[in-house]
Amino acid sequence: MLLTGAEIVIECLKEQGVDTVFGYPGGAILNVYDELYKHSNEIKHILTSHEQGASHAADGYARSTGKVGVCFATSGPGATNLVTGIATAYMDSVPMVAITCNVNVPLLGKDSFQEIDIAGITMPITKHNFIVKDVNDLADTIRRAFRIAKKGRPGPVLVDIPKDVTANKAEYKTQRIEPVLRVTETIREEDLEEAAALIQKAKKPYIFVGGGAVISDCSDELREFVDKVDAPVCDTLMGKGAFNGTDERYTGMLGMHGTKTSNLGVSECDLLIAVGVRFSDRVLGNAKKFAHHAKILQFDVDAAEINKNIMVTNSVIGDLKKILARINPMLSPMEHKEWMEHIMEYKKEYPLSYHPEGLSGPFVIEEIYRQTNGDAIMVTEVGQHQMWAAQYYKYKRPRTLLTSGGLGTMGYGLGAAIGAQIANPDKQVINIAGDGCFRMNMNEIATAVRQKLPLIEVIINNHVLGMVRQWQTLFYEKHYSATVLDDGVDFVKLAEAMGATGYRATSQAEFVDILKKALASSTPVVIDCIIDSDDKVWPMVAPGAAISEVFTEEDLK
């Protein structure tokens, strides 16, 4: 049948099973929005307050479901406002398709009104991107975009469509979309055999789990693998929930703000088994001293990650769920009694702890865990509150912590929480923000109110840029340059002005009571939690130090 480009865009989204799009209209994309209007009973559009909010919402939708998130923006500034969200998704391997529209084809490259080369701008931060200048190529391009976004290591794809292409007509035929298969062709039997032999010989193995394990949905296979190997388990920020955080073998996060148990244990192990991790600098510390007693075995879907940041002994490349399913039967059950007892002694000796008096970030997170029974979808901004949310909430399942790990995007959380709440209407979604981060995306409270979402925004308000101030205190002689935010902004009044319910907590008892009310609410709630400006995230590894040099507040004394 003969359809316009705009009609083809909508039909292709329906082919892919897309039920929700996040976006903001404008002149160049009007044809697509007009067609979307006619299909509003099939595809829900969420109008955000800003295009960056739309990109983060599409990201949160994708992370919480495993589906491809979709966002729309118009040309020029609309398209460039997606850039931070696209980069965030790229760094954390989130499947997203961003559809932008541009000026008419004859006007491209002529500095036309609201023209920008968005394909050129986003080339380094997408898995692939396209500019479609012929309507006859449009359907196949959109199908390719979704396939690329999902296949192997996921990531964002951008499709830019000039306005005249959305008006031109072409023959369109509906296609049945084949499922994207897991990557198995790179899993070699000899690699599995070498890996199994390495594991069987280890006396002090440690299993290190990253975001790839969440993406591949391999929690069941990972559980069996851990039981077979009989090893302690640590994770990255992105790997939270892939292995049950309440399990006895779990020792917490590894790296700059990892637990002493994980950092010391990995430094002493003789085999580190890395499952879907990219060995980022925040995990490695001093790379030359990282796990220097250990052989390293890496499982990853992306061959580019092997020997990129750390040299490994052996590797298996492919989908993690398939790798673990194939290696598990090759392993005889092992027992590492002395090693496990040694690590468990570390757990007893070095538990996470904080000052029991007064309202603090760790108390807030622990109370949220207690009142939600660990069943909420937790979203965070970036900074101290993000680390506390990683440390003090026990993630039992994958896709329950949504956070910007790779790019560290302040302003990510509220948009992502909206996307997660739209995708999971029966779940409690809670965004943990710092006051600095909240300022960057607080306009999206209006979006949450418009959608009548029951999400909770918890602001850990210390009136400073907390993580930057922590570094200034420890490493910059307390030169608090541009990090004090004590300017009298009232977040409760601001929340109420946008239609949400606002509360302020200044004590533990107040927060306990307010959280109960917030959890019972069916509309957005903002809780402004006032904490001390000098609260810090412990433990910590100084920049350039080995992770075995992890220290706490007591160590400094």
Catalytic (active-site) positions? 51, 113-114, 163, 467
CA 78 to chain centre: 23
Alpha helices in 125-210 (DSSP H): 138-150, 163-167, 189-201
DSSP character for 309? S
Q: Is 117 left (phi over 0), alpha (psi -120 to 50) or beta?
A: beta
Which residues, other chains included, contact 197 with Cβ-Cβ below 8 Å and sequence gap of 6+?
Answer: none
Q: What residues form DSSP beta bridges with 314?
A: 297
Please answer whether residues 210 and 197 qualify as being in contact, where contact means their C-beta atoms are separated by less than 8 angstroms. no
Crossing angle between the packed helical segments 30-38 and 5-15, to the nearest 10 degrees: 50
Residue type, 254: L
Which residues, other chains included, contact 251 with Cβ-Cβ below 8 Å and sequence gap of 6+?
Answer: 232, 233, 234, 259, 261, 262, 265, 343, 346, 347
Q: Is 116 left (phi over 0), alpha (psi -120 to 50) or beta?
A: beta
Residues in the chain: 557
Residue type, 291: A
Residue type, 390: A
Q: Other CB atoms closer than 10 Å to residue 193's CB: what's the count? A: 12
Tokens of 430: 């809670």
Tokens of 444: 């999206």
